[in-house]
């Protein structure tokens, strides 16, 4: 069992709390290392992120949950698509939830177009960190994998400069109908 001691002051600072979390996790890691020799990395060689985005101050329709308040599963295709986080609808086009979903879709379509019969692409970002922490492919058959650097936030923003005709979306078309990330040649 891990216990994190939170400063008792009402004005406890976020950095102080993050420092407490880091200290507890470091101590737990060192304990695991002593008990199991397979854990070889020194703590100093591990990148450990605790709330890299800072305090959560931008919620509501302008932030995480999107304009409609629907969750991502409503914007996608059902139970076979594993999702987390807020909605795509109503978010700024460059929000990582939205632009990352487009990039992952483009990569999966590219893999299928190049030989895979099925492909699921999972990409994991930490808040306020532009480079993905992990990109994994789960494929049936062989298909082309999109280079990881194409999932860097700046590269995605550059690649997907407002490709949609938003007037057509207002007429009831789905975001994927007109989008360039549905083109396997674009990936």
Please tell me the pTM assigned to this model: 0.58
| Overall average pLDDT of the 2-21 stretch | 65
Of 112, 134, 120, 122, the closest CA to residue 182 belongs to 112
Residue 150 near residue 159 (C-beta atoms within 8 A): yes
Domains and CATH numbers, the chain: 1-51 (no CATH), 60-186 (3.30.300)
User: pLDDT tens, 67-126?
Assistant: 554 555 555 555 556 655 556 666 677 788 788 888 998 999 999 999 999 999 999 888
Long-range residue pairs from 173-180, CB within 8 A, at least 24 positions apart, any chain = 175/75, 175/88, 176/105, 179/102, 180/106
* Distance separating alpha carbons of residues 44 and 165, to the nearest angstrom: 48
> Euclidean distance between the first and final Cα of the chain, in Å?
46
Average pLDDT for the chain: 75
Look at residue 18 in the predicted model and tell me its pLDDT.
78
Q: According to the per-residue pLDDT averaged within each range, which of 16-25, 145-154, 176-185 is highest?
A: 145-154
Task: Give 149's DSSP letter.
Answer: G
Q: Higher model confidence: residue 15 or residue 32?
A: 32
Least-confidence region, from 60-74, 107-121, 122-136, 158-172: 60-74
Beta bridge partners of 121: 137
């Amino acid at each position: 069992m891990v216990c994190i001691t939170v400063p008792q002051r009402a004005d406890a600072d976020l950095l102080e709390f993050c420092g407490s979390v880091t200290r507890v996790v470091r101590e737990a890691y060192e304990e695991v290392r002593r008990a199991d020799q397979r854990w070889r990395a020194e703590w100093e060689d591990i990148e450990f992120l605790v709330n890299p985005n800072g305090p959560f101050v931008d919620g509501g329709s302008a932030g995480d949950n999107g304009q409609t308040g629907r969750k991502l599963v409503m914007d996608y295709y059902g139970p076979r698509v594993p999702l987390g986080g807020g909605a795509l609808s109503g978010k700024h086009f460059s929000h990582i939830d939205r632009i990352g979903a487009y990039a992952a879709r483009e990569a999966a379509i590219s893999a299928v177009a190049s030989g895979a019969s099925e492909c699921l692409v999972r990409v994991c970002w930490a808040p306020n960190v532009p480079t993905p922490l992990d990109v994994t492919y789960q494929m049936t058959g062989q298909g082309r994998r999109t280079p990881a650097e194409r999932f860097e936030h700046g590269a995605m923003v550059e690649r997907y400069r407002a490709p949609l005709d938003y007037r057509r979306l207002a007429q009831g078309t789905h975001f994927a109908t007109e989008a360039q990330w549905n083109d396997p040649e674009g990936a």
